[in-house]
């Protein structure tokens, strides 16, 4: 199954969960309320997410005088994309991300730690990955997923309180079971978190593939991912966990194993490296 088809199915499943918990909480009115939450939160995320994340990390815009700008400019020209704004984050932790609602309003950022740790070809591989996110509009896709997930969380909390105080479905003749409502309100957010993480992993794989093609080889990006993982283990990047999916590597030390891997926003680095090496002609 292609990455876009998988993402579409996962987003549709998130929407179905949102409708399910909305209906369980308040019938048809609950579904309308759920979509209302999603629309408002999507609007905020669509227009302001880039400014928020850049400000949160103290990112400073750089111009043509900075080597990172030249690397990004070359990739943008090669990919036939508008030149994004380029930012530098003063942190020793190696990482990078892309943000913006569409290619015409995109921004890419890298930490000082990443620029100090990697060679030029590896930096180019990382930024090619980020430019692929821009081309694929992955930031918007993941913002929609995060918004749906947040709406589910909000409704789940409301549903739990409503069930405890005798609320629930009010427009169906059979009413609603408070026990069933509480069970739904507890399971739905868990399912939403798993689906959000799966969407993030799918988009990371797609960006790896596209980045390797844009850079002309998967080897530099594969080497960069190994170094970034080791660097993050030594020096994690302080950030909001809700922002973890934006980065090329989860910015926290350690990663989920076994069942916990279902909640991971990034695929295992070893798997990513293996895929990238397989894309490189021998």
Check if the beta carbon of residue 59 is closer than 8 Å to that of residue 13: no
Check if the beta carbon of residue 211 is closer than 8 Å to that of residue 125: yes
The sheet with strand 85-89 has its strands ordered as 60-62, 85-89, 107-111, 96-99
Half-sphere exposure of 178 (CA within 13 A, CB side): 8
For 51-101, what is each residue's pLDDT tens digit? 888 998 999 999 999 999 999 999 999 999 999 999 999 999 999 999 987
**Annotated catalytic residue, options 130, 204, 229, 274:** 130
* pTM (2 d.p.): 0.80
The total number of structural domains that make up the chain: 1
For 89, the enclosing helix (H) or strand (E) is: strand 85-89
The pLDDT value given to residue 120: 98
The pLDDT value given to residue 171: 47
For 211-234, what is each residue's pLDDT tens digit? 999 999 999 999 999 999 999 999
CA distances from 149 to 35, 82, 169 (A): 12, 31, 21
Closest among 139, 136, 176, 113 to 51, alpha carbons compared: 139
The pLDDT value given to residue 41: 66
Q: Determine whether 130 is an active site residue.
A: yes
The pLDDT value given to residue 39: 67
Provide the residue range defining the domain that includes 176. Answer: 3-279
Residues of the chain with pLDDT under 50: 169-175
Output b/e per residue, 164-185; b: 16+ Cβ within 10 A: eeebbbeeeeeebebeebbebb
- Which residue do the tokens 């609603």 mark? 176
The pLDDT value given to residue 280: 63
- Mapping DSSP to helix (H, G, I), strand (E, B) and coil, where does residue 58 land? coil
The pLDDT value given to residue 136: 92
The pLDDT value given to residue 247: 95
């Amino acid at each position: 199954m292609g990455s876009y088809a998988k993402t579409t199915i996962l987003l549709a499943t998130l929407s179905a969960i949102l409708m399910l918990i909305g209906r369980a909480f308040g019938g048809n009115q609950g579904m309308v309320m759920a979509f209302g939450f999603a629309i408002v939160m999507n609007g905020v995320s669509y227009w302001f997410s880039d400014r928020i994340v850049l400000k949160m990390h103290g990112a400073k815009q750089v111009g043509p005088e900075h080597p990172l700008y030249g690397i990004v400019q070359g990739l943008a020209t090669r990919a036939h994309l508008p030149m994004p704004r380029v930012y530098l984050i003063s942190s020793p932790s190696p990482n990078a991300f892309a943000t913006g609602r569409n290619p015409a309003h995109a921004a890419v950022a890298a930490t000082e730690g990443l620029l100090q740790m990697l060679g030029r070809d590896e930096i180019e591989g990382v930024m090619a990955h980020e430019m692929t996110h821009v081309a694929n509009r992955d930031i918007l896709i993941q913002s929609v997923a995060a918004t749906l997930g947040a709406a589910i969380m909000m409704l789940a909390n409301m549903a739990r309180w409503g069930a405890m105080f005798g609320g629930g479905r009010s427009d169906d003749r059979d009413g609603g079971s408070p026990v069933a409502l509480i069970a739904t309100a507890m399971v739905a957010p868990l399912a939403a978190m798993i689906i959000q993480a799966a969407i993030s992993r799918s988009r990371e794989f797609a960006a790896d593939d596209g980045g390797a093609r844009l850079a002309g080889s998967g080897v530099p990006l594969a080497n960069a991912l190994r170094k970034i993982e080791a660097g993050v283990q030594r020096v994690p990047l302080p950030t909001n966990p809700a922002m973890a999916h934006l980065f090329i590597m989860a910015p926290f030390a350690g990663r989920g194993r076994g069942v916990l891997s279902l909640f991971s926003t990034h695929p295992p680095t070893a798997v990513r490296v293996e895929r990238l090496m397989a894309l490189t002609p021998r």
